[in-house]
């Protein structure tokens, strides 16, 4: 996803700008008050050495001269303060109006609108940039959910349509081989169940509804390798596990599922014969790392970037008994994200795929 933040130079903070503005108004008020005192009061004080005055103003004279002018000056200050403060506040808070308008549009369903506030960096521009980034993430997630819903509907519709076709054929041909029909229905139903369970697992990972415990990825990799060894032998794939301890913090069931999906995909999508799958674990810079590499044909980087999307099965959508439902890497990505981790996909030099999962390390 493209980051839509605007590059800015460092500017004065809103708090400092308001402080300087208010201080400026107080300075103006002080100057005006001093001017009033100078013009209308101090003129009665003689300039020079004190001599017996021919006229000595009384307190009443000073009050009559000062109070009306002071009241006029205060009235002028009030008007200037209200008008200037209103204009200043409107100028300072104009970005909040744009942010509020964008929030209203987002609430109405328009996620493509962006504030794109110009100017130097301060609290308001940071708020606007953060809001734009949030809208971009929400828009991307909504589009992803729409694609996922459409793909899931298509995938769920396929086994139902096949089942309906098989039942119609059986109804029209009552003398046919029902044992073959039952086997086909069983296979189709099993695939529908696998898809439903995968969708439920994906939903569970997205909701983060699990208890976090310490899980050693190296032990999980050994357990998965032992479980999938018969499948690797069937596909003539050599399965290797190496590495150090890699303690992570998360759901044991979900992390084992993550490793299982990666190793299963690496076995199934491999060379026709004498392929290799290498699983490596380790601890790097305070993070637990799991790397799964497999041999295979050379992969296009553009294709690799889409493999973690739901219902993606590489270059072809040809299925066999072990291909799964196209949610393997999507589930891995969701589990890694739910554990505040990262999933990295890259073509392997010489062909095949290298998948790296980085998770926060456990205690």
Using alpha carbons, select from 63, 74, 87 the residue that is nearest to residue 32: 74
Task: Give the confidence band of 48 by pLDDT, cuts at 50, 70, 90.
Answer: low
What are the tens digits of pLDDT across the range 281-298? 998 888 899 999 999 888
Report the pLDDT value the prediction gives residue 319, as an integer from 0 to 100: 39
- Angle ∠(220,225,226) on CA atoms, nearest 5: 100
Report the pLDDT value the prediction gives residue 293, as an integer from 0 to 100: 94
Query: Residue 113 is encoded by which pair of tokens?
Result: 């609108």
Using alpha carbons, select from 305, 280, 276, 148 the residue that is nearest to residue 217: 280
**Res. 28: pLDDT tops 70:** yes
Report the pLDDT value the prediction gives residue 240, as an integer from 0 to 100: 92
How many CB atoms are closer than 10 A to CB 241?
A: 18
Instruction: With beta carbons less than 8 A apart as the criterion, state whether 255 and 248 touch.
Output: yes
pTM: 0.56
**Res. 313: pLDDT tops 60:** no
Query: Residue 184 is encoded by which pair of tokens?
Result: 């086909």
Alpha carbon distance 74, 240 (integer Å): 87
Alpha carbon distance 94, 117 (integer Å): 10
User: Measured in Å, how far apart are the chain's first and last C-alpha atoms?
Assistant: 32
Distance of CA 274 to the CA centre of its chain: 41
What are the tens digits of pLDDT across the range 119-169? 788 888 888 888 888 988 888 878 777 776 766 676 667 677 777 777 777
Instruction: With beta carbons less than 8 A apart as the criterion, state whether 180 and 186 touch.
Output: no
Report the pLDDT value the prediction gives residue 321, as an integer from 0 to 100: 46
What are the tens digits of pLDDT across the range 347-362? 988 889 999 999 988 7
Query: Residue 173 is encoded by which pair of tokens?
Result: 């041909």
Strand-pair category, 342-347 with 275-284: unpaired
Alpha carbon distance 277, 262 (integer Å): 10
Instruction: With beta carbons less than 8 A apart as the criterion, state whether 328 and 312 touch.
Output: no
Query: Residue 15 is encoded by which pair of tokens?
Result: 């708090």
SS (H, E, C) the chain: CCCCCCCCCECCCHHHHHHHHHHHHHHHHHHHHHHHHHHHCHHHCCCCCCCCCCCCCCHHHHHHHHHHHHHHHHHHHHHHHHHHHHHHHHHHHHHHHHHHHHHHHHHCCCCCCCCCCCCCECHHHHHHHHHHHHHHHHHHHHHHHHHHHHHHHHHHHHHHHHHHHHHHHHHHCCCCCHHHHHHHHHHHHHHHHHHHHHHHHHHHHHHCCCCCEEEEHHHHHHHHHHHHHHHHHHCCEEEEEEECCCEEEECHHHHHHHHHHHHHHHHHCCCCCCEEEEEEEEEECCEEEEEEEECCCCCCHHHHCCCCCCCCCCCCCCCCCCCCCCCHHHHHHHHHHHCCCEEEEEECCCCCEEEEEEEEECC
Alpha carbon distance 81, 75 (integer Å): 10
């Amino acid at each position: 996803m493209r980051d839509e933040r605007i590059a800015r130079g460092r500017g004065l903070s809103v708090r400092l700008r308001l402080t300087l503005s208010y201080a400026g108004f107080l300075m103006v008020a002080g100057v005006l008050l001093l001017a009033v005192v100078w013009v209308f009061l101090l003129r009665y004080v003689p300039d020079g050495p004190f001599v017996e005055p021919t006229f000595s103003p009384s307190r009443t004279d000073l009050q009559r001269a000062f109070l009306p002018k002071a009241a006029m000056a205060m009235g002028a200050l009030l008007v200037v303060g209200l008008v200037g403060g209103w204009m200043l506040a409107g100028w300072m808070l104009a970005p909040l109006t744009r942010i509020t308008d964008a929030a209203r549009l987002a609430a109405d369903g328009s996620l493509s609108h962006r504030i794109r506030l110009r100017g130097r960096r301060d609290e308001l521009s940071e708020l606007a940039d953060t809001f734009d980034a949030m809208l971009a993430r929400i828009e991307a997630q909504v589009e992803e959910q729409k694609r996922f819903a459409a793909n899931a509907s298509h995938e769920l519709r396929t086994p139902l349509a096949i089942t309906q076709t098989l039942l119609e054929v059986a109804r029209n041909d009552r003398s046919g081989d029902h044992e073959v029909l039952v086997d086909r229905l069983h296979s189709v139903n099993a695939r529908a169940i696998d898809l439903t369970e995968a969708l439920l697992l994906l939903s569970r990972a997205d909701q983060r509804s699990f208890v976090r415990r310490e899980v050693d990825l190296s032990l999980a990799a050994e357990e998965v390798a032992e479980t999938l060894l018969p499948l690797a032998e069937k596909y003539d794939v050599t399965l290797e596990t190496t590495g150090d301890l890699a303690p992570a913090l998360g759901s044991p069931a979900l992390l084992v599922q993550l490793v299982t999906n990666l190793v299963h995909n690496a076995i199934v999508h491999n060379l026709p014969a004498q392929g290799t799958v290498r699983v490596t674990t380790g601890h790097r810079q305070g993070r637990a790392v799991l790397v799964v590499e497999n041999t295979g044909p050379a992969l296009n980087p553009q294709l690799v970037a889409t493999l973690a999307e739901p219902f993606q099965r590489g270059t072809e959508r040809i299925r066999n008994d072990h291909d799964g439902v196209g949610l393997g890497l999507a589930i891995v990505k969701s589990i890694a994200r739910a554990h505040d981790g990262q999933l990295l996909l890259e073509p392997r030099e010489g062909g095949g795929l290298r998948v790296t999962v980085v998770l926060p390390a456990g205690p």
